[in-house]
Amino acid sequence: MDAAPGSAPSSSAAALRLALAAPGLPEGPLCCPICLDVLRDPVTVPCGHNFCQGCLQALRQRPGPPDGGGAGGAARCPLCQEPVPAALRLCKNRALCELLPLLAAATGASSPSSSAAATPTSPAGASPMAPGAEEEDAAGEEGAAVLCDVCPPGSRVAAERSCLVCLASFCGAHLEPHRRAPAFRAHRLVAPLRRLEEGLCPRHLQPLDGFCRTEQSCVCSRCRAHEHRAHDVVPLEQEREHKQAQQAKFLSDAENELEELAVTITQAKKMVELIKGAATKERERVEKLFAEASGVLAAFQKEVLGFIEDGERSMLGEAEADLRWKEQRRAKLAQCKQSLENVPSTDTIYFLQEFQALKAAMEENLSPPLSFQKELNFTKCTQAVGAMKDVLSTACKNQWNHLQGKGVDGLSCQEMEEALAETGFPDKSNNAACLESRDYFLKFAFIIDLDSDTADKFIQLFGTKGAKRVLCPIPYPESPTRFINCEQVLGLNLMNRGNYYWEVELIDGWVSIGVIAEDFDPREAYSHGRLGRNDSSCCLQWNGQNYVAWFGGFECPIQQPFFHTIGVFLEYSEKALTFYGVKDSKMTCLKQLKVSPSAKGKLDPFQNKINRQFASLFSCKLKPAFFLESVDAHLQIGPLKKDCVSVLKRR
């Protein structure tokens, strides 16, 4: 009966094997080195050794280390360790297939093929080693000893040793070739191992037979000869004895740490539950407060909308009555006028009657007295709601920074209202629309003429309204007021009382717009002479990416879109300077420079500098100032005269 690869040899096969054995060797050259039986369906690998086709297929399917034999990489010949490519197609050795039956007939033994015919075939696709593998898995699950890999399925016995070269375990009977045959003399036998691949060096695929104390790792003979040549390497057994001497202490330390971890884990679990509970309660309280805040806002919204509706209803009736009276009067005057024009030239009496009727109609009251004011009081709602939104936005931002631990103390509602009153728009409560309309500022229009005696030699003036920076110096005449280190120019006009408003168009490049003290020395060095880099001037700079406010060497970036036209509003008596972006007659406040004492040092360094030094700037007369910083800088003073006349006509 033919056995599967790895099965015990039959009596006839044993006779054939003894007959074919090489002189002096217990096993013949026609025996498989894996199952130690006569070759069945022999195949030859590239190194020249012959194996049973089923045995070699089972070897290639066994799990193994990377780059080693088995599924982890290319299989290796058990005799010479030469790799057997995974893609190699196993072909039968036809010469041996024909030779084996002839030798069997000569010795009187049954041929392997005939005995194989008597063997029940295994299911299609099943590996010859599959039953053994299942048995080994079952044994592993039951905690049994390592079984022999060569014994036939169903009768496998416990292995005595494992071979790190063959990557197989053998019982006493199947271990005899390793003990007697010179071909297995170099194989390393160890105590039975369930995972044989762990006994090989993953780099050199050699048995691990030493321990490097320098790097605390197991090594093979090639490792000792190369990478670990200068290291302290001892045999594995010696290192095990050394480690076993320390085992009791390590186990005791591990037990102590486990006990400590058990206590700390209990405490950590309590802390986790505490955090979850606190977060849940805090979430509920916050959600309740947000719901109340939403209710307050909804009530305020309802009141404001009701105020608008009441104002509309109370004023709309009288306005519509006035409209109807005017339309009736217009119709009556038109009729009298038409009648007078249609009187024939020969009818004198009719002419006099129609003329008198037109005269009487024109002498009637021009309009019934109106009880409502011309100013629509409910239009102030936008200003009130906008102020409330600013207060809420500032409160949210400050409290959020405080929660994040950025060191910003949250301001109370009263303090925020005071800060808004100090840093908001100019007081225009008599005209609600002027918060967004350019018309309000045109009342304070200030006509600026550039002073050619102050222009730096690299600034070219276009009349008294335009200035552009150039690369070639302009031979201006000597002047004690001319800037010599900074590309700056001033206006002729002085400002020392009241309010002033002017506009500047940014045509190209980096431009700074501001004011400067009249007595500022134009010979100051570049680092200290530029606008905003000293206590005698301040400015708004466009640097090609964003706006930046400057005063006393401190800067404040401003996140606003680019505006071609910048409006400058100076309130000398209020000691305030405000910069606006102007577009389509609408004003967008970019930055206001003004002392804000209510903040009490809680603002940024720029505002703190404003609080300390900005008021002293108004102790002297001021001039408009312009700094053309980049080589392509170009500006134009905005013409306001026509706009001012238009506003006066509308008023």
The 10s digit of each residue's pLDDT in 109-147 is 444 444 443 343 333 333 344 344 444 444 444 445 788
The rounded distance, in Å, linking the Cα atoms of 546 and 569 is: 20
- Percent of the chain whose predicted confidence (pLDDT) is above 70: 78
Sign of CA dihedral 306, 309, 315, 317: negative
pLDDT value at 323 more than 80: yes
Residue type for 394, please? T
Confidence grade of residue 540 (pLDDT, cut at 50, 70, 90): very high
Give the residue, 110 or 489, on which the prediction is more confident: 489
pLDDT value at 311 more than 70: yes
Task: Scan for tokens 């400002």, then name that residue.
Answer: 495
**Beta-carbon contacts of residue 363 (< 8 Å; ≥ 6 apart):** none
Q: How far apart are the first and last CA of the chain?
A: 123
Predicted pLDDT at 603: 63
Mean pLDDT of 49-77: 68
- Per-residue pLDDT tens digits for 563-585: 999 999 999 988 999 999 998 88
Nearest in space to 75 (alpha carbons), one of 42, 96, 91, 51:
51
**Beta-carbon contacts of residue 543 (< 8 Å; ≥ 6 apart):** 510, 629
Residue 400: in which H helix or E strand, if any? helix 381-403
pLDDT value at 22 more than 70: no
Count CA atoms within 13 Å of residue 637 on its CB side. 26
DSSP-derived letter for residue 368 is P
The rounded distance, in Å, linking the Cα atoms of 532 and 593 is: 12
Predicted pLDDT at 104: 72
- Per-residue pLDDT tens digits for 338-374: 888 888 888 888 888 888 888 888 887 655 555 544 4
Nearest in space to 97 (alpha carbons), one of 22, 57, 59, 43:
43
**What DSSP string describes 558-623?**
E-----SEEEEEEETTTTEEEEEEEETTEEEEEEEE---GGGTT-S-HHHHHHHHHGGGGGGS-EE
Is the whole-model pTM more than 0.85?
Answer: no
The rounded distance, in Å, linking the Cα atoms of 529 and 456 is: 12
Phi, psi at 501, each rounded to 5°: -140, 130
The rounded distance, in Å, linking the Cα atoms of 241 and 25 is: 39
Predicted pLDDT at 488: 96
Residues in the chain: 651
C-beta of residue 484 within 8 angstroms of C-beta of residue 609: no
**If you average pLDDT over every residue of the chain, what do you get?**
79
Lowest mean pLDDT: which of 223-232, 234-243, 363-372, 426-435? 426-435
Confidence grade of residue 3 (pLDDT, cut at 50, 70, 90): very low
Nearest in space to 518 (alpha carbons), one of 449, 624, 621:
621
Confidence grade of residue 558 (pLDDT, cut at 50, 70, 90): very high
pLDDT value at 72 more than 70: no
pLDDT value at 412 more than 50: no
Neighbours of 612 (CB within 10 A): 13
